[in-house]
Amino acid sequence: MALQFHSVPVTPFQQNCTLLWCDDSKRAAVVDPGGDIDRILAAVEERGLKLEKILLTHGHLDHVGGTAPLSRQLHLPVEGPQQADQFWIEKIVVQAQMYGFPPVETFTPDRWLNDGDTVTVGDEVLEVVHCPGHTPGHVIFFHRPTNLALVGDVLFAGSIGRTDFPMSNHQDLIDSITQKLWPLGDQVKFIPGHGPMSTFGQERQTNPFVADKRFG
């Protein structure tokens, strides 16, 4: 299998920061480095990887808090999220104070992402799908050859993302899941922003918020 992954729970919110790497080249991306950079870099070193970029699903503190120092330390470009989340990134200093996190720095991504874009990890290509609702600029990353999706806080095993934040929208979130994620296929396994992995098929059967029977 050419694309490998390993998740490192970071911050008090136990956010799934995920390393993605190309087996052939050992070049890697870190997805949503919310904090605990030393733990992330230890996982990189343990696997003999070369980090080449940072990918972000959305602008919430627990997903982006470690971005600025990690990018600066290793000279890594930052790709994502979609630009509608810029206001969240600009607010992470205030978010950190509010939640009692260590001080963080704001930043500007090198590349904002849009629906239909692609990103590369080594020799592998992932599709970008804009999935607003939890935040307006939330994106997910989909690797079609291995049916793997990194969905941030759009969908969880047995639950869905919160929509009680500024510029969240519950109906947009439901539409993102049912109209953008489900068509990718029941067989797709996904890494959520928090908690265990699942598959789209499993969630369509059992998730109380978005199971097919709710909309049948």
Residue 160 makes CB contacts below 8 A (sequence gap 6+) with 154, 173, 174, 177, 207, 209, 210
Give CA separation, 150 vs 3, 142, 189, in Å.
13, 7, 9
Mean of per-residue pLDDT scores for the chain: 96
Spatial contact of 172 and 180, defined as CB atoms under 8 Å apart: no
Task: Using the predicted structure, report yes or no on whether residue 24 has a pLDDT greater than 80.
Answer: yes
pLDDT of res. 216: 60
pLDDT for res 37 = 97
42-53: average pLDDT = 98
pLDDT in the model for residue 213: 84
Residue 50 corresponds to which tokens in the numbers above? 């070369």
Is the pLDDT assigned to residue 34 strictly greater than 80?
yes
The mean per-residue pLDDT over the stretch 52-59 comes to: 98
Closest CA to 135 of 116, 159, 162: 162
| Strand, helix or coil for residue 156 | strand
pLDDT for the residue numbered 44? 98
Average pLDDT over residues 153-170: 97
The pLDDT assigned to 214 comes to 77
Cα–Cα distance, 149 to 127 (Å, whole number): 9
Residues sharing a CB contact under 8 Å with residue 154, sequence separation 6 or more, in sequence order: 131, 133, 134, 138, 140, 160, 161, 173, 176, 177, 181, 192
What order do you get walking across the sheet with 3-10 strand by strand?
A: 3-10, 15-22, 27-31, 50-55, 78-79
Q: Is the pLDDT of residue 35 over 90?
A: yes
Half-sphere exposure for 13 (CA within 13 Å, toward CB): 21
d(CA 134, CA 160): 9
Mean pLDDT of 153-166: 97
Q: Residues near 37 by Cβ (< 8 Å), separated by ≥ 6?
A: 66, 69, 70, 73
CA angle, residues 73, 194, 154, in degrees to nearest 5: 100
- pLDDT beyond 70 at 1: no
pLDDT tens-digit profile of 122-155?
Answer: 999 999 999 999 999 999 999 999 999 999 999 9
Per-residue pLDDT tens over the stretch 68-81 = 999 999 999 999 99
Q: Which helix (H) or strand (E) holds 121?
A: strand 118-121
